Amino acid sequence: MDWQIFGVWLAAFMTLGIISFLYKDNVFYKAAEAIFIGISAGYWFIVFFWDSMVGKFYVQAIESPEPEHHVWVGLILGILMLARLSNKVGWIARWPLAFVVGATAGLYMMMFFVSNAMVQVQSTIMPLWETGDGWFTVFNNIVIIIGVTCGLVYFFFSKKHEGAFGVAAKIGIWFLMVTFGASFGYTVMSRMSLMLGRLDFLFGTWLEMIP
Amino acid sequence: MRREIPLVITFVVGVVFVISYFIPHYPFNEFESWFTDWFSIVGAFAIWLGALNLMKISTLKIVKQKKDWPFSALTIVSFLIIVIFGFYGGKGFRDPGTTFDWLYVYVYTALSSTMFALLAFFVASASYRAFRARNFEATLLLVAAFFVMLGRVPVGDMITGFLPLEYQMSHWANWVMNILNTAGQRAIMIGIALGLVSTSLRVILGLERSYLGGD
Amino acid sequence: MNTRMKEIIATVAIVAFFLICKYVLPKPLEFSPLVSNLIIGAMAVVFIIILIRTLQGKYIERRIVFLLVGIALLLPFFMQFDLPLQVSPEVKATYDALESLPPGSKVLASFDYDPPSAPELQPMADAFMQYAFENDLKVIIMGLWPQGPQQANQSIEAAFVANPALREKVEYGVDYVNLGFQAGNEFVIVGMGKGFRSMFPTDMNGTPYDSIPLVKNITNFGNIDFSLNFSAGKPGTVEWVQVGVDRYKLRMAAGNTAVQAPAVYPYLNAGQIVGLMGGMSGAAEFEKITGKTGKATTYLLSQSSAHLVVIGLIIIGNVAFFREKKGGK
Amino acid sequence: MTKQAILAGVILVVLLSAGAFGQDRPEAVVDSSNLTGAILPAPVTNIEAKNHKYDDGERIDLFWEKSVDDPDNIFGYKVYRIDKDGASELVRELLPGTTEYFDEEVENDVPYQYIVAVVGEAGEAPSEMTPEVMAAWEFFNFSKLNILILGFIVCGSVLFFISSAKSGKKLFIRKIGGLEALEEAVGRATEMGRPILFIPGILDLDDVQTLAAITILGKVSRVIADYDSKILMPVSRSLVMTSARETIKESYMSAGRPDGYNDNMVQYITDEQFGYVAAVNGIMVREKPATCLYLGAFFAESLILAETGNSIGAIQIAGTARPGQLPFFVAACDYTLIGEELFAASAYLSGDPKQLGSLKGQDIGKIVAMSAIILGTLAMTFASAWELGFMQSLLDILNSIFVTN
């Protein structure tokens, strides 16, 4: 038996099984979903085993000519994580969890502050005067500056939205709406692309109808 | 003790990451690379925890003969199959041509892609039944969405084909994305960044403890 | 006839449909321009019927909408139209950045996506791989998503199929290397800033880092000339910008799924990334500008038709909504 | 004493480097013998070696201007490092077009010199030798001082407001529009005699959005208890179920109607995303709630829920901080709490000092951002339009505050 042809048929069957959910929840969908959950958990399990445990930990801690001993601490923290599976000693899993949360908080604090706040503020500072890029650029600069400032006003909670401040907040929400519209359009594009990929598989790879 | 030790760990680790951003040398750079190595290993165990938990729940379901238990059995079997082939394959387990790769291409890819592809249909049906220009804001949203949806595919330029090239739909979409969208996203971004800074600060200082759970 | 009967008949009909497609219909199937235009006309008529029904207050059923979308996505695959496609400035910037790299430059390509996002990102990756190999760029592949390195292998294979001469020319370990996946999300990038070796002690197949000619002299981002990131979410472009670009001064461009792309525009306009390819349209534009026409270009017609259907459905729904509102008052 | 030592050290280094200069260029460094009779390529010019600032003393940066024969007549560049004993080492071969190299294989506080040679067909054309340079160690990265100061301002104001809220000071938070809408919607369901559906997202209790949703649930269930209307709350996490039950029970107690509460108000369905959505859809179609509230962390299920809610004619109010789902909620719901508004609503309702203080502290950050943008823009505009000197200096100051590299 040719495994490739069998694979294509199997994949087609599974694809249709999941699509059948559109009609209603049914046994094919449930079976496909169950397989999906198992396969994807297994996939992650294996890749993490080979790439992280063998490819990194084992090489660094044991195989390397100059073993690094500190990674053993990481291993212990990791094993403590598995304590969660038990109700009795589950509390000890908080130690690795605290490590993860602390590391993430420390790193995010700097990452987001610099890249998403400071750099963005700095690059919003633009001239409202022609400096060689044409007046359309100036117009665009004005739009961006108004958009960012008014958007920030909308998310400002220490003052009532009234008077000039209220107007700014209103303009801010309009900008946010256009932004959401752009995301909306892009998300639709994305979702449709995903389905196109599946149809290409069904009617191209499997049924061989697509030129 | 059950509460204090995690708080100390969070504090020390968080502070090291912040300080090593400013002070580039020993001992902070050393600690930072240690912690980075540990994080990678703990991350792997977190995934295993998820997988083992799934096995635990599925097994319990089968043992207690709960509703839909045969599907749990299916989950366990498919988990075991891919894990066995993964271990068996050695370091080159996912090279093209291996059984693991076959499972990836024909089972995993088919299932995961189709699962998400269903959303295409839900978006369409919600477009018909739910997305309404019920006020000025929602109208603005939908109009911007139209510009982008038309401008990002050739059909937009076909519809506006009578206009000069630089006034066609795709240029309008470019403008919406690069100017209006950038402005709005930037405001959101700055807001989220400040929110993250204050949350992280609370976590590091131990003012925020909800991640530790109850008791 | 009860529901059970109906369902059985429908199932039989679906199976029959696929069997006919597989064994009866000509392969490949191509519609003549006349048939294509007739189909487009028929779709327009269907929409008018839906509009009328909706205005009468009879909303059509969800499943019919599903079917309609399926048809609108599928049929354009068999039609032949020449589509105008204008390359957007952000895609052109990506291409220009690649063009400016002298042969032998080291490009770090991070594959941060999984199969569901492959329809959008794989065409970009395929075109990039072929371009890189043809222009003698040295590619260092890695993944922050476990599936990434495997998707990269598919891209390499696609490049070899598109240009068979490359199979002889390109050598693993010298012209490209696949470092595989590493756990730890953005912390992997932090670690790579200190040294690639510590995060990837071996490549995907267990070869030690120091015995791979291409990378043995690479310590960290300082030795990388350019980076391209294919990203479907977190961790992805945002994390690469925050750590790789802003902290370690990496020069980078990104290919994103359409869902993620709008949030990346501020980085583009702040100069944190030099170029951006967003979603299927970005992929098609990149294929066009590199001249490596592939899947994305063939999807464009279906993509267009899907957008029109969604816009049509929103308009119909809203027309009915305003009519109801008027009637209600 | 120390001063003298430093002085002595400096003199020593100067002498040593002078000695190094005095030496002949090491013969072994480059092979410039002209074998083929072809002409040697032009050497690079303006070569400069610098200590890389603000690191652990582990890197020397090398810059030069490329040879005029680049790229047509050369094969590339070779970088040589000469240590204090005069021994040279080839550190890297580089491609044509390169104008910089960062040497990270140096030792801390050891003097080095460099030569960059252009490699052509005829051999190698060496550059001048650079003056001695050492990779030095700096205590603090002063190029990031501004980040530290700004960070202190934001973090400091968060902490300040948290402590002042804790000490009982009343902090003003503007009214959130969605909260009024929330109350109206509950009232409407009561009038119609139909239930209210509350979905707290699909993430667990460790997500802040879920926590905010539970806080708002406290308020909503209080109104429900007062009006004696009915609430339906299918959830996808067992922990969320427990805490939601407690919250609703408390509301009924404080409304003086403990008998009105029962556990069936909150039901755990399943952790599985689509399975959960299918079940919620079923409940919606069967029970026809008049009001649907979606507050918390949502993923792809957002539009499926909103669509079903719309088809049964319910009033829908949503709130999430997940940007990907906000567009769908805004388009499909009657009112949406956008991003931070969800947290602000929760802070407003709970009066929790931690939340209120953070919100206020973030507002300070926003004031800084907004004023920097406005001031900077004005300064830049005036500086570029009329070349006003003091505006240029203001701009320079602002730039130095926000510069990140």
Name which of D381, D387, D395, D401 to mutate to probe chain A: the one with the most chain A Cβ atoms within 10 A of its Cβ: D381
pLDDT score at D53: 78
| Separation of alpha carbons D231 and D189, rounded Å | 10
CB B92 within 8 A of CB B98: yes
Asked which of A1-5, B66-70, D1-5 is least confident by mean pLDDT, the reply is D1-5
Do residues A55 and C206 touch, judged by C-beta distance below 8 A?
yes
CA dihedral A114, A115, A121, A127 (to 10 degrees): 120
User: Which chain A residues are Cβ-neighbours of D150 within 8 angstroms?
Assistant: 113, 118
Q: A30 vs B9: CB contact, 8 Å cut-off?
A: no
B173-199: per-residue pLDDT in tens? 999 999 999 999 999 999 999 999 998
Which subunits have 3 or more CB–CB pairs within 8 Å of chain B?
A, C, D
Tokens 């052109």 sit at which residue? C92
Residue C230 Cα, gap to closest chain A Cα (Å) = 15
DSSP conformation class of D319:
E
Rounded to the nearest angstrom, the gap between the alpha carbon of residue C120 and the centroid of all alpha carbons in its chain is 1
Using a CB-CB distance cutoff of 8 angstroms, which residues of chain D are in contact with residue C217?
Answer: 92
Distance from the Cα of B200 to chain C's closest Cα (Å) equals: 16
CA A188, A189, A192, A193 torsion: positive or negative?
negative
Which residues are within 8 A (CB) of C54 and not within 5 positions of it... i.e. 6 or more apart? Answer: C60, C316, C317, C319, C320
Closest CA to B114 of D303, A196, D324, C150: A196
> Residue B179 and residue A139: Cα distance in Å, rounded?
10
Q: What confidence tens digit (pLDDT) does each residue in C77-132 have? A: 999 888 889 999 999 999 999 999 988 899 999 999 999 999 999 999 999 999 99
Q: Tell me the chain C residues in contact with residue B113 when contact means C-beta distances shorter than 8 Å.
A: 115-116, 118-119
Task: Catalogue all structural domains in chain D, each as residue range(s) with its CATH number.
Answer: 28-134 (2.60.40.10), 142-168+355-402 (no CATH), 177-351 (3.40.50)
Nearest-Cα distance to chain D for A137, in Å, is 13
Residue contact A179–B9, C-beta within 8 A: no
Which residues in chain D show pLDDT less than 70?
A: 1-38, 405
Measure the CA–CA gap between B153 and D95, rounded to whole angstroms. 40
CA distance D72 to chain A (A): 35
CB contacts of D92 in chain C (<8 Å) are 217
Amino acid identity of residue D177, one-letter, is G
In the predicted model, is pLDDT for residue B5 greater than 70?
Answer: yes
- The 10s digit of each residue's pLDDT in D288-316 is 999 999 999 998 889 889 999 988 989 99
Question: Which residue in B122, B142, B205 is closest to D304 by CB distance?
Answer: B122
For position D109, what pLDDT does the model report? Answer: 81
Contact C303 B153 (CB under 8 A): yes
Token look-up 């329809």 returns C119
Contacts of residue D184, Cβ cutoff 8 Å, sequence gap at least 6: none
Please compute, for residue C216, the number of CA atoms within 13 A of its CA located in the half-sphere on the CB side.
Answer: 9
C106, C138 Cβ separation under 8 angstroms = yes
Residue D395 tokens, joined: 């701009």
Span C279-312, pLDDT tens digits: 999 999 999 999 998 899 999 999 999 999 999 9
- Phi and psi at D196, nearest 5°, equal -115, 130
**CA distances, D104 to each of B24, B26, C208 (Å):** 15, 16, 21
Q: Are D325 and D302 in contact (CB under 8 A)?
A: yes
Chain D: residue nearest A124 by CA?
D373
**Six-digit token string for A146:** 């108004």
Measured CA to CA, the distance from residue C243 to residue C107 in angstroms comes to 17
- Distance from the first to the final alpha carbon of chain D: 38
Tokens read off for D359: 């919100």
∠ CA B23-B29-B34 to the nearest 5 degrees?
150
**Cβ(B100)–Cβ(B94) under 8 Å?**
yes
Q: Which residues of B touch C65 (CB under 8 A)?
A: 121, 124-125, 128
In angstroms, the CA A178 to CA A166 distance is 19
- Minimal Cα–Cα distance from C314 to chain B, Å? 5
Chain A residue whose CA is closest to D347: A157
SS3 label, residue C298: helix
* Residue at token pair 């070899």: C160
* Rounded Cα–Cα distance for residues A93 and B42 (Å): 11
Residues in chain D closer than 8 A to A121 (CB atoms): 369, 372-373, 402
The CA distance from A77 to A93, in Å, is 8
As given in the structure block, the two tokens for residue C27 are: 């392969």
Q: Cis bond leading into C262, ω under 30°?
A: no
D317, D181 Cβ separation under 8 angstroms: yes
- Whether the CB-CB separation of C230 and C121 falls below 8 Å is answered with yes
Do the Cβ atoms of D297 and D318 come closer than 8 Å? Answer: no
- As a whole number of angstroms, the distance between CA A121 and CA B194 comes to 12
Question: Residue D95 and residue C105: Cβ atoms within 8 Å?
Answer: yes
Q: Provide the chain A residues 26-45 that lie in CB contact (below 8 A) with chain D.
A: 33
Give the one of B145, B191, B207 whose C-beta lies nearest to D162's C-beta. Answer: B207
CA distance D108 to D136: 6
Closest CB to D104 among C103, C222, C263: C222
Please give the span between the terminal C-alpha atoms of chain C, in angstroms, as a whole number. Answer: 42
Tokens of D332: 């499909």
- Residue D300 identity: A
Residues B22, B23, B24, B27: what is their CA dihedral angle, to the nearest 10 degrees? Answer: -140
Handedness of CA C108, C109, C111, C112 (dihedral sign): positive
Position of tokens 């009609």? A23
Which residue, C183, B25, B33, D150, is CA-closest to A110? D150
| Neighboring chain B residues of D147 at a CB cutoff of 8 Å | 21-22
CB neighbour class for C279 (10 Å; exposed up to 12, middle 13-18, buried from 19): buried
10 Å Cβ neighbour count for C199? 27
| Per-residue pLDDT tens digits for C115-126 | 999 999 999 999
> Would you call C12 exposed, middle or buried from its count of C-beta atoms within 10 A (0-12, 13-18, 19+)?
exposed
Sheet holding D45-51, edge to edge: D45-51, D60-65, D100-103
What's this model's pTM, rounded to 2 decimal places?
Answer: 0.89
- What are the structural domain ranges in chain A? 131-211
Cα B178 from Cα C310, distance rounded (Å): 24
On the 0-12 / 13-18 / 19+ scale of CB atoms within 10 A, C87 is middle
List subunits contacting chain A, requiring 3 or more Cβ pairs under 8 Å: B, C, D
Which residue stretches of chain C have pLDDT < 70?
A: 1, 328-329
Kindly tell me the number of DSSP H helices and DSSP E strands found in chain C. 13, 6
Residue of D nearest to C263 (CA): D323
> Which of C271, C260, C267, C302 minimizes the C-alpha distance to C284?
C302
pLDDT value at position C219? Answer: 87
What 3-state class would DSSP assign to C256? strand
